[in-house]
Structure 1
Amino acid sequence: MTADEITAYVHEHIPITRSLGVRVEHYDGQSVRLAALLRPNLNHRATAFGGSLSSVAILSGWVLLHLQLREHGIANRLVIQRSALDFEAPVDGDFTAACTLPPAPAWSRFLSTLARHSSARVTVTSTLECASGVGGRHLGTYVAVRS
């Protein structure tokens, strides 16, 4: 799938992503980068609203894992179980959330657990950035349940 096709899928299945101004900028099978506009995500201090930052960070992990499971032919439901975002600096412009697959041993363990059982969990990290630097780091644990 191209970045535009992934964006269309996300907008169709998670409608709030349109309002957040989110689009998929890059996907290479190992990582994903989402881009979001500042304007629809402004807070009263003219920086990005923390809830929007959290949403886009969670979404970056979800998109990466969803695409990977789909590429492995694994039909599933994928949900966030635990989410932690460390806000490091104000996000004062359009921003990105980049997420990379966990190290190979953790990813393999997740896939083998999912093959043996009806569900498995995996933790991934995302980094939020804007032109002025890193705005935050997100740690998300996702659960896949085989359909």
Structure 2
Amino acid sequence: MTPSALQSYLHDHIPLSKAMEVSVVSIADDAVVLSAPLGPNINHRETVFGGSASAVAILACWSLLHLRLTAAGLESRVVIQRNEMDYLAPISGAFTARSYFEVGANWDGFVKMLGRKGRARISIGAVLEFEGHEAGRLTGEFVALGAGL
């Protein structure tokens, strides 16, 4: 899938991503980078609303897992089970979220469990960056549910 195809998919299937003006910067087997502008995500302090920052980070993680499963031909639904967000610095402009598989995430074990049980869980994280500096960090547990669930 190309970045523009993923962006269209997100805007069509997750309308909040369109309202937030999320764009796909890059995709790879081990990372997805999304960006969002300040305007539609602004709070009363003229910085990015915390919920918007968290949503973009979750979208980056969700996208990474969705793309990996699609590339592997594994039809499933991806949901977030839990997450923790650390806000490290205010964001007063356009920002990015780069997702990655957490250290210890076992892709092969995840795929095997999905095949055996019809559901599997994996840890994915994201780093928010603003003007070249880390502004936030998300860690999350994402679950893939097989086609029958």
Runs of 4+ residues deviating >2 angstroms: 101-105
TM-score (normalised: structure 1): 0.95
**1:1-12 mapped onto 2 (5 Å cutoff):** 1-12=1-12
Q: Which residue of 1 aligns with 2:141?
A: 141
Q: How far apart are the structure 1 equivalents of 2:101 and 2:120? A: 15
Q: Does 1:56 align with 2:56?
A: yes
| Residue 71 of structure 2: aligned partner | 71
Question: What TM-score, normalized by structure 2, do the two folds share?
Answer: 0.94
| Amino-acid identity (%) | 41
Task: Give distance in 1, aligned partners of 2:77 and 2:103.
Answer: 22
Structure-1 separation of matches of 2:36 and 2:54: 12
Partners in 1 of 2:74 and 2:105 — Cα distance? 19
| Equivalent residue number for residue 30 of structure 1 | 30
The RMSD of aligned alpha carbons is: 1.3
**Alpha-carbon shift at residue 62 of structure 1 (Å):** 0.3
Where does the alignment leave 5 or more consecutive residues of structure 2 unmatched?
A: none
Deviation, structure 1 residue 101: 2.6
- 1:59-138 equivalences under 5 Å are 59-103=59-103, 106-131=106-131, 133-138=133-138
1:40 aligned partner = 40
**Structure 1 unaligned runs (5+)?**
none
1:92/1:132 contact within 8 Å kept: no
Aligned positions, number: 147
